[in-house]
Amino acid sequence: MVFDQPRGVHTHGLMTPNLKVPYWVNPKDISGFNDKERANLHDVAENKYLHIVSNRCDNERIERNRKEQDAQGWFGPDEKKMDAVRNLPMTNCKRLRDLGINVRF
């Protein structure tokens, strides 16, 4: 199972019904799946996707905190660096928020 775009043998596109997350699987892996197995696959995909995006969000927050501490400096904050820190994109944290998950960043 892969996210973002099809890769390698993962060419069969699916979308989770709840969060509308697109993902791709190897068609051979799901041939013969019944409705219950397909529903379980969607649940696994959502959980895996949320885990990946949540970890990436954590990394964004760690990096932001590191840069914020660096911008504090010895003699007071460097305003240019602080502005840059405030403008970091935090794309994965925003993605979680867009999915309805309450994230502080």
Q: H or E segment at 66?
A: helix 35-72
| Average pLDDT over the chain, rounded to an integer | 95
pTM: 0.87
**pLDDT at position 93, please?**
97
Q: Which of 1, 2, 21, 10 is nearest to 98 (CA)?
A: 21
pLDDT tens for 4-43 read 999 999 999 999 999 999 999 999 999 999 999 999 999 9
